[in-house]
């Protein structure tokens, strides 16, 4: 499996950012290769894929599990296109994975950043307006007006 995954990384990695390519390689190295990396890709089935994803969900790594599933989908699609396989087992686990991920997220909800109370807003605006750098003041105002967030809710 690892040979095909490395071929997939080499084939598509040149179009990715360095950071994205590293993240793909790292997640496969950390979560996939230890379990199924030494096996021929033809011998890997839905139970193997679900086992990897469930282990991540049990550890509370729902986002990592989602990304690993996405990367496995890419690898198996690549393998089917290269005729290393007749069928892609990853789509078969999609419904079950979605259910398991939803359960895991309920058990381990992500915490939102605290927001200020309405009565604290005037003091915050005063502090923002008193900041010595005009660039920072304008950036903070833009941030506030556009409601930009560090992470979208899932």
pLDDT one-digit tens code per residue, 64-74? 999 999 999 99
Which domain does 26 fall in, by range?
A: 2-107
Structural domain count of the chain: 2
The enclosing domain of 63 has a CATH number of 1.10.150.130
Burial letters 85-121, b for 16+ CB under 10 A, else e: beebbbeebeeebeebbeebeeeeeeeeeeeeeeeee
The residue count for the chain: 154
- Look up the pTM and report it: 0.71
- Is the pLDDT assigned to residue 154 strictly greater than 50? no
88 and 153 assigned to the same domain: no
Read off the pLDDT of each residue in 136-149 and give the average, rounded to a whole number: 82
């Amino acid at each position: 499996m690892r040979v095909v995954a490395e071929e997939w990384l080499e084939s598509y990695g040149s179009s990715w950012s360095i950071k994205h390519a590293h993240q793909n390689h790292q997640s496969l190295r950390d979560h996939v290769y230890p379990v199924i990396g030494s096996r021929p890709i033809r011998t890997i089935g839905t139970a193997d894929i679900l086992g990897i994803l469930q282990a991540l969900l049990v550890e509370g790594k729902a986002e990592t599990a989602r990304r690993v599933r996405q990367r496995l989908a890419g690898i198996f699609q690549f393998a089917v296109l290269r005729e290393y396989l007749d069928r892609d087992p990853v789509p078969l686990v999609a419904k079950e994975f979605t259910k398991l991920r939803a359960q895991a997220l309920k058990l381990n909800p992500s915490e939102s950043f605290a927001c200020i109370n309405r009565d604290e807003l005037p003091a915050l605006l005063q502090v923002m307006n008193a900041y010595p750098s005009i660039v920072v003041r304008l950036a903070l105002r833009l941030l506030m007006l556009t409601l930009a967030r560090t992470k979208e809710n899932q």
